[in-house]
């Protein structure tokens, strides 16, 4: 609050009575509209002014050489963390840029940059295995609230701030989705609850695994019985004892509390690097599960809330919720022996069914072969009888038989000719009718 007061920021927090600060806020409004970015820029500017006992409107009147030396001196204080120094320098350069320290579209401040090593992290991280995460969520003595939080972080891949901004009304199908993954929407309006949620104002959706759904149902029943649930209430309420219950309903749990409960749970299950377990490591574990499940890269990036490269984001179909839910459902977050046994049992049942099918098919083929053999025997028997009778005929009887066979052949020919004439007349009539229809419709 003192920073906002010293920088003369108005109540809307996007304008200021200080012309220099107002220009900065207007640029941020045009470029990002991010509350988190606005707070970061104002915080850095306030510290810079405090360190030099000056005001924003006064520093923009300094000569360029003085600005360069002062900014360089200020950012050099954070060389132990080159990432922080680089961010602070970039924020101050932007402030001076909008206040006239530029040549065309580029800043005219000449400053020494800082080397940020590849994969630089100021804080070390330890990503638990899926077995360790299962232990953290079930065996660490965590309550219903903490269990829900850990499972959401892992199986939905939510960022810390985004998860804390979730409300009960975001899950209208919580009780009706059955064993299917739960639809989890992420939308820019979450920033009203936590400015850092829905990073980059990128709307997307993900899902929560059945284990998480069951935990959420149990936690919701507990909250309804003990406190009741009102419209707009966040799932993870604040633990600040200075707030009333009605105030806590709309204030999420703090980042510090969430960080602490995650570390405590990791410590209780015997993870040696429990101090390096942060809420964000569950999101990284989530990414690993998606990648190892064979999901398409575009589906992985979307479920992570990332914008796809180039034009891929425009052409990615975000409307097929059920298709993506089916793909997500194949991801195994907690592989266990019972599931492997069930899979093996299912495979064995399929093999047995296939063998039965093969046996039935062989029986059918055998019966067909027997019937065909019987048919051959019957025909052969008739042939033998006919041959025997034929051999017993005298010349006159043979002539009569030949005459009868010739008459029968002629009768068959005449029948075939009549059928051919009928087909010809029928085709001729259809052709004539088609010509008349085409003439009637205006065709030449």
Say if residue 49 is in the same domain as residue 134: no
pTM above 0.75? no
Does residue 331 sit in the same domain as residue 204? yes
Two structure tokens written together for 46: 């306030």
140: DSSP letter: S
Kindly state whether residue 121 falls inside one of the protein's structural domains.
no
Co-location of 239 and 102 in the same domain: no
Residues 141 and 228 in one domain: yes
| CATH code for position 153 | 1.10.443.10
Number of domains in the chain: 4
- Which of 59, 113, 73 shows the shortest CA–CA distance to 90? 113
pLDDT tens, residue order, the chain (444 aa): 677 888 888 888 889 999 999 999 999 988 877 888 888 899 999 999 999 999 999 999 999 999 999 999 999 887 677 888 888 999 999 999 999 998 888 888 888 888 776 655 556 789 998 888 888 887 656 688 888 999 999 999 999 999 999 999 999 999 988 888 999 999 999 988 998 888 888 899 999 998 899 889 999 999 998 889 999 999 999 988 899 999 999 999 999 999 998 998 899 888 999 999 999 999 999 999 999 888 888 999 999 998 888 788 888 888 889 999 999 998 888 876 445 445 555 666 677 777 778 888 888 888 888 888 888 778 777 777 767 766 666 677 767 777 877 888 888 888 888 888 888 888 888 888 887 777 776 544
Tell me: do 162 and 246 sit in the same domain. Answer: yes
CB 180 within 8 A of CB 327: no
In this structure, the answer to whether residues 248 and 325 fall within a common structural domain is yes
Q: Which domain holds residue 83?
A: 2-107
Instruction: Say if 399 falls within a structural domain.
Output: no
The sign of the CA dihedral 66, 72, 78, 80 is: negative
Phi, psi of 384 (to 5 degrees): -60, -40
Q: Give me the sign of the Cα torsion angle 7, 10, 15, 17.
A: negative
Are 95 and 210 in the same domain? no
Are 212 and 307 within one domain?
A: yes
Same domain, 221 and 312: yes
């Amino acid at each position: 609050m003192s920073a906002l007061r010293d920088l003369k920021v108005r109540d809307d927090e996007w304008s200021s009575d200080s012309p220099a600060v107002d220009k900065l806020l207007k640029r941020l409004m045009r470029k990002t509209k991010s509350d988190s970015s606005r707070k970061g820029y104002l915080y850095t500017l306030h510290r810079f002014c405090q360190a030099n006992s000056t005001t924003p409107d006064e520093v923009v009147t300094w000569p360029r050489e003085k600005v360069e030396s002062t900014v360089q001196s200020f950012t050099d204080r954070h060389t132990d963390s080159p990432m922080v120094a680089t961010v602070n320098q970039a924020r101050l350069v932007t402030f001076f840029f909008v206040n006239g320290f530029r040549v065309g579209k580029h800043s005219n401040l000449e400053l020494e940059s800082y080397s940020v090593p590849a994969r630089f992290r100021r804080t070390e991280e330890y990503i638990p295995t899926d077995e360790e995460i299962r232990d953290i969520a079930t065996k660490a003595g965590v309550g219903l609230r903490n269990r829900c939080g850990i499972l959401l972080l892992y199986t939905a891949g939510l960022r810390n701030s985004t998860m804390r901004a979730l409300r009960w009304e975001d899950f209208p199908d919580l009780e009706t989705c059955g064993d299917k993954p739960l639809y989890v929407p992420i939308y820019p309006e979450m920033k009203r609850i936590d400015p850092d949620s829905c990073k980059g104002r990128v709307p997307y959706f993900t899902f929560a695994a059945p284990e998480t759904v069951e935990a959420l149902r149990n936690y919701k029943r507990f909250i309804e019985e003990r406190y009741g649930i009102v419209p707009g209430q966040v799932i993870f309420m604040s633990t600040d004892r200075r707030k009333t219950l009605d105030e806590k309903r709309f204030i999420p749990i703090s980042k510090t509390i969430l960080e602490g409960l995650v570390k405590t749970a990791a410590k209780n299950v015997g993870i040696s690097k429990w101090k390096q377990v942060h809420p964000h490591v569950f999101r990284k574990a989530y990414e690993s599960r998606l990648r190892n499940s064979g999901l398409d890269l575009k589906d992985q990036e979307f479920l992570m809330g990332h914008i796809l490269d180039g034009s891929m984001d425009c052409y990615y179909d975000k409307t097929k919720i059920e298709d993506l839910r089916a793909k997500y459902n194949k991801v195994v977050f907690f592989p266990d022996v019972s599931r492997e046994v069930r899979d093996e049992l299912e495979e064995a049942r399929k093999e047995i069914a296939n063998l039965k099918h093969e046996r039935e098919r062989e029986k059918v083929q055998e019966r067909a072969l027997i019937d065909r053999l019987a048919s051959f025997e019957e025909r052969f028997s008739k042939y033998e009888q006919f041959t025997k009778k034929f051999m017993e005929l005298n010349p006159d009887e043979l002539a009569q038989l030949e005459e009868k066979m010739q008459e029968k052949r002629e009768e068959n020919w005449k029948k075939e000719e009549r059928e051919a004439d009928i087909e010809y007349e029928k085709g001729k009539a259809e052709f004539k009718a088609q010509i008349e229809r085409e003439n009637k419709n205006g065709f030449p």
